[in-house]
A and B are shown apart, each in its own frame.
Chain A
Amino acid sequence: MTVLDTTDIRPSETAVRFPGTLPRLIPNPPVTAIGAHLDWYGPAPHTGAGLIAEAERAGLRGRGGAGFPTAVKMAAVARRRGGVVVANGTEGEPASDKDKTLMALAPHLVLDGAVAAARAVGADRAIICVERSAKGAIRALRAALAERHAARMDAIELSVALTPNRYVAGEASALVHWLNGGDARPTFSPHRQAERGVRGRPTLVDNVETLAHLALIARYRGEWWRSVGTAEDPGSALVTISGAVARPGVYEIPLGARLAGVLAAAGGPTHAVQAVLVGGYFGSWLPAAAIDQARLDASSLREWGAGLGCGALAVLPEGACGLAESARVTAWLAGQNAGQCGPCVFGLPAIAGAMDAMVQGDNHGVAQREAGRWTELVRGRGACKHPDGTAQFVASSLKTFAGEIEAHRRRGPCPGPAGLLPVPAPGAWR
């Protein structure tokens, strides 16, 4: 196969057909079958290493939560020979559904992205990792792989791997460890995955939505891609909206969209809003006042002490107890620790215990003080960012629901059960 530089790519008619419009990633109705996919997007060009520069021009950042520049990651793997691409579709975040939805409704775009990434970094194989419980995504990916195989579309080896249902199993080092035959727990290694990953080979681990964007950049180039979004935070992103909105679900937004507009796209709030959780369970609560002011991009959210993370938004209505909801999530996060690093193994349950004490009103200010101190104490002290993410969520909860904490201290626990934010049962490590 001849590998062409992206300078040979011309925007196809499809790009002209929807220049600045959304959705880009999941057309409505979806184009799941290979024929419909190719009709809609046009054929995937045979891009090579030039795609890295194109991703840099686009300004594409990872959509898995950390927001790292994709071109930098790709370049680190491309420098070394014999690479592997891992498409990370493990979406252990309970409030997020966007990766599962994308894989179920646009499997070929994800696979196009994985193939384009592999060719760009000189990899001969790509592994799509999906949580075992994501049945719809698994079915769609397998059907898509069968179609591509029958059509002899791809010169690289593509496979699907079904991962354990654990929150930290999707962390890059945990995923690589599991693919190498270990359990799905993070590792502490001086080597980065880009140097030594799957079977000791240089490994590019990219979120599946990131790869789908890469597939669009390969077709229509970076300049087209950044025609939506802001100059600093270009492009579009999938968000999962849950809680008190009329039509919860997955939506594609231009980065920099007003929070109010994004909630309106989901049918608008069904109740007066108390707070909005932005960025999932490693994210932050925004007060209702932020709805008309905050924009969903890194610089605007930073002013609110938040970040878009994995794009999960949960709307908490007035009348719900933000403290009880946060305590329940904290207990879940504590239970999701990998059982490896002391500060996380002991610190997170201690923090969760303090949160529960605040819910019970059994506080006298001690639990509140200790929770605040412990969140600072556990940051940066794990092999992965699980303690940091949990600390971020708890610190934001303590700040946002200070009034609720005081009310519980005076009047004891509130009657209503918490249960707005989902907390699934944990799975096995292998």
Chain B
Amino acid sequence: MSMRLTVNPITCVGHGLCAELFPEGITLDDWGYPIIDPGTIPPHLEAQARRAVSACPTLALLVTTERSAADVRK
């Protein structure tokens, strides 16, 4: 499984906790709204990414997982 983050831009109000908890994958723009790294999250950072997701006060940060080709073959 590979993991990505996505943000619901309507519910996000720019608290910015996600960028503090997961700076490797999230930065903030000029107005304090998260810019999410579009790539998949390396396995060793997944726990950190999940912490950022559960810390979001408006539940705007979402995890999407997708099965990779390797998973499908298994």
Give the interface of A toward B (CB within 8 A).
Answer: 187-188, 340-344, 346-347, 350, 374, 377, 381-383
Which of A344, A347, A381 has the most chain B CB atoms closer than 10 A to its own CB? A381
Provide the bound-state CA to CA distance between A347 and B35, in Å: 13
Residue of B at shortest CB range from A347?
B31
Q: Which of B33-51 contact A (CB under 8 A)?
A: 33, 35
| A346 to B9 alpha-carbon distance, docked (Å) | 13
Cross-chain contact A340 with B9 (CB below 8 angstroms): yes
Looking at chain B, what size class is its interface with the partner chain? Answer: 10 to 19
Q: Mark B18-42, 1 if CB is under 8 A from A, else 0.
A: 0000000000011111010000000
List chain B residues, Cβ under 8 A from A374.
30
Interface residues of B (CB under 8 A from A): 8-14, 29-33, 35
The answer to whether A346 touches B31, judged by C-beta atoms less than 8 angstroms apart, is yes
Question: For A377, what are the chain B residues with a Cβ–Cβ distance below 8 Å?
Answer: 29-30, 35
**B10/A187 in contact, CB under 8 A:** yes
A188 contacts B8, C-beta separation under 8 Å: yes
Given A350-B30, A377-B29, CB of A343 within 8 Å of CB of B9: yes
Residues of B within 8 A of A350 (CB): 30-31
Bound CA–CA A248/B32 (angstroms): 44
> Are A342 and B9 in contact, CB atoms less than 8 angstroms apart?
yes
Whether the pair A342, B8 counts as a contact (CB closer than 8 A) is no
A-B CB contacts (within 8 Å), total count: 41
- Contact in complex: B31, A343 (CB < 8 Å): yes
Nearest-CB residue, chain A, relative to B33:
A342
Task: Give every chain A residue within 8 A of B9 (Cβ-Cβ).
Answer: 188, 340-344, 381-383
B30, A342: Cβ atoms closer than 8 Å: no
Q: List 9 A-B contacts (CB under 8 A).
A: A188-B10, A342-B14, A347-B31, A350-B30, A374-B30, A377-B29, A377-B30, A381-B33, A383-B10
Q: Which of A340, A342, A382 contacts B31 (CB 8 A)?
A: A342
Apart from A340-B10, A383-B10: 14 A-B pairs, beta carbons within 8 A: A187-B10, A188-B10, A341-B9, A341-B12, A342-B9, A342-B13, A342-B31, A342-B32, A343-B29, A343-B33, A344-B9, A350-B30, A377-B29, A377-B30
Residues of B within 8 A of A347 (CB): 29-31
- A282 to B12 Cα, complex, angstroms: 25
Report A107 CB to chain B, min CB distance, Å.
Answer: 36
How far, in Å, is B37 (CB) from chain A's closest CB?
13
- Shortest distance in angstroms between B51's beta carbon and chain A's nearest beta carbon? 22
List of A residues within 8 angstroms of B14 by Cβ: 342
Min CB gap B6→A, angstroms: 10
The docked-state distance in angstroms from the alpha carbon of A188 to that of B30 is 23
Shortest beta-carbon distance from A260 to chain B in Å:
41
Which residue of B is nearest A344, CB measured?
B9
Shortest beta-carbon distance from A44 to chain B in Å = 41
Complex interface: chain A residues within 8 A of B32 (CB): 342
> Which residue from chain A places its CB closest to the CB of B60 in the assembled complex?
A188
